[in-house]
Amino acid sequence: MQIQIKLAESPEQILEAHDLVRKVYKKCFGGLDINKLKGRKFRHEVLIAVSPENQKVLGTLSFMYPEEDKFPCESSFGFKLKNVLNEKNDYVEIGRFATSDECKQHLTVVISLFLGIAFYLEKKQIKGWVATIKDHIFNFFAKIELPMNNIDQKPILRKNSLMWKYIEDPKTLHLFDITSEKSIEIFKQKFQHYTKNGSIIIDF
């Protein structure tokens, strides 16, 4: 399976990626409908993994930039990062990760997104990133020895809120930050052979 990884440029690609995230979150996280979430709109860029043959979006994630000294996860979950990261304006938040049902058995799609993170951070000269992830991604990162810096904070939410459906159990939610240097090193070390054998095409 060959995968092309690139930034979504057309409105159609951005909408297709959004629809994939909406579908996955609704199915996997207690019926959570991201279209009903209210909150600040953050500047972001959408990374997509597509089939080179038909350009169908098979996976996606987003790079989201802090605004007014606040990250999206602070707005969504109530985290407080002001005193945690001294250079937070040079960091991005990575989130809205989703892959299509037909790709569940194809690890190449997931790996292509992680390689895309490395190339994006390198191209944009970003110093580091923050993420809020569930157990399955956290365990994968731990398995490949990604040196995540755990941020020991719990979400501040009302139990009847839509985001509480996503969390379900706060113990399954992990907030961390990591430098771009370390993540680029690990992702390329573990996965760059996929680009060398032609399985993954980086197109940006």
pLDDT at residue 122 in the model:
96
pLDDT tens per residue, range 138-190: 999 999 999 999 999 887 766 666 566 666 666 778 999 999 999 999 999 99
CATH number of the domain residue 75 falls in: 3.40.630.30
**Span 50-61, mean pLDDT?**
94
The more confidently predicted of residues 33 and 117 is 117
Secondary structure class of 25 (helix, strand, coil): helix
Q: Please, which pLDDT band fits residue 136 given cuts at 50, 70 and 90?
A: confident
**Beta-carbon contacts of residue 189 (< 8 Å; ≥ 6 apart):** none
pLDDT at residue 27 in the model:
75
pLDDT at residue 77 in the model:
81
Whether the pTM exceeds 0.75: the reply is yes
Q: Please, which pLDDT band fits residue 67 given cuts at 50, 70 and 90?
A: confident
Comparing CA positions, the residue from 102, 105, 59 lying closest to residue 200 is: 59
Domain holding 191, by residue range, is 3-202
Residue 145 near residue 186 (C-beta atoms within 8 A): yes
pLDDT tens per residue, range 68-127: 878 988 888 888 888 777 666 689 999 999 999 877 667 899 999 999 999 999 999 999
What count of Cα atoms within 13 Å lies in the side-chain half-sphere of residue 57? 25
Comparing CA positions, the residue from 190, 165, 159 lying closest to residue 30 is: 165
Number of domains in the chain: 1
Q: CA 115, CA 122: separation in Å to the nearest integer?
A: 11
pLDDT at residue 22 in the model:
87
pLDDT at residue 86 in the model:
62
* Distance set, CA 142 to CA 97, 136, 158 (Å): 17, 10, 30
Residue 40 near residue 67 (C-beta atoms within 8 A): yes
pLDDT at residue 173 in the model:
83
